[in-house]
Every structure is written in structure tokens, then in C-alpha cells.
Copies of this chain bind each other. A is one copy, B any other.
Amino acid sequence: MNERPVPAQEPLSSLDGLTRALRCLPGVGPKAAQRMALHLMQHDRDGARALGRALSRAAEVIRHCARCNTFTEDTICAMCRSPRRDPSLLCVVETPADLLMVEHAQAYQGLYFVLMGRLSPLDGIGPKEIRLDRLLKRATDGVVREVILATNFTNEGEATAHYIGELMAARGLTVTRLARGVPVGGELEYVDPGTLAQALRERRPI
């Protein structure tokens, strides 16, 4: 729709500008952007104003925690500062979204390190790009005892976990990886063969 011929005599309007700006959102194409812009103007101007303020504010104040690299407004994030977390455990995740998912599971009380990416040689993302030197420094602070690799179980996530695991093991740290297997509530009939094979290989005594 953005490619339609602009009507004569009409400069780029605020509405067109808004539609175009909405395209910066992931997964939002021209049609969705137009629908969003019209919806906001027609039904939710207060929401539009609030979102405008939230965007400007977040873009200014959000930075990376100096210890765990996740998003925060402080030098050190609240979780890294918390006395209630176990500083001997360090869970390595790819993104802040992954961190939130692990927190959501409510089964972990240690600290995190957020890579903000993963190793991906084909895309030119090597150890330097995801700044593994910072992770190394963080993990060898003398307090961390176990490094839990919670990168994704994709090819890139696995390669990242393997690479970090070697680094950490060389420093004498205990390195663990999230367990793979049948999902909770999962039915064998619907589990993919790779997961089932893994669950068999990693079967546990009960």
C-alpha cells in the first residue's frame, strides 16, 4: 500500500509518516502498519500518545547491565544486585526473552549472562561479536561455581553452548546444559523423532 501513487498536491502526511514508522516493528508489513495507524487514530489516541512516550523513554534510558548484559536502566540490574539470588550459579542465555522464560519457569535462583546473540559463523558472528571475553571475565570472578548453558537447541545455539562449554571447562568450572527430552504433558505419539531419540539416550533411573 505504501507504493500507491501519492495523491496530487499531498505531502507525506502524519498518517503516512506513522504508517511508515510502524514498519520498524518486527513482523509488521505495509498492510498491518496501515491498519495499526488507522486503528490508533480512530479508536485509541491516548494509547498512541502513551506508546509514543514509552518508546522515546525506553530508547533513552535502557542500556545493558555491566554484569549480566541484559537490558536495564541501571549500571547493574536489579537481579544482579539482589542478595536473594545464588551468585555461584551462572545461567547463559541468548536473549533477554530467554532470560524471562527461564525466570517464568520459577525453577532457578542463580544469576544470568545474556549473550545478546549466538555464534553464527555463516553470518560473520564469532566469539568477538557476542563478546565472549566479557562472559569469560564474568564467569571467572571466583564466586561462580557452575555455568548452566541455556542457549537454544538449534544448530547455532548448540554450537554456541559447545564453544562456551570448552572455554569454561578449561578454566575448571562445572559446566551443565539444560536437559533435553519429552515435554511435560507430552504424548510420545506427537513428539518428534529427534527429541524422542534424545530422551532415550539420556534416560534416567527412577
Interface residues of A (CB under 8 A from B): 1, 4-5, 7-10, 13-15, 17-18, 20-22, 24-27, 32, 34-42, 44-45, 47-59, 61-62, 71-73, 78-79, 81-82, 84, 95-97, 100, 103-104, 106, 116
Stoichiometry, copies per complex: 2
Q: Give 7 new A-B contacts, CB below 8 A, not counting A38-B96, A48-B59.
A: A1-B104, A8-B82, A8-B84, A24-B40, A24-B50, A48-B55, A51-B52
Known: A7-B103, A51-B21, A100-B34. A73 touches B1 (CB 8 A): no
* Residues in chain B near residue A49, CB distance under 8 A: 55-56, 59
A54 and B17: CB pair below 8 A?
yes
What's the nearest-Cβ distance from chain B to residue A44, in Å? 5
A48 and B58: CB pair below 8 A?
yes
B58 and A15: CB pair below 8 A?
yes
Known: A41-B62, A48-B24, A52-B55. A72 touches B13 (CB 8 A): yes
* Residues in chain B near residue A53, CB distance under 8 A: 21, 52, 56
Q: Which of chain B's residues has its CB closest to A34's CB?
A: B97
* Residues in chain B near residue A45, CB distance under 8 A: 59
B10 and A78: CB pair below 8 A?
yes
What's the nearest-Cβ distance from chain B to residue A200, in Å? 32
Bound-state Cα–Cα, A62 to B5, Å: 21
B116 and A42: CB pair below 8 A?
yes
* Residues in chain B near residue A18, CB distance under 8 A: 54-55, 57-58
What's the nearest-Cβ distance from chain B to residue A81, in Å? 8
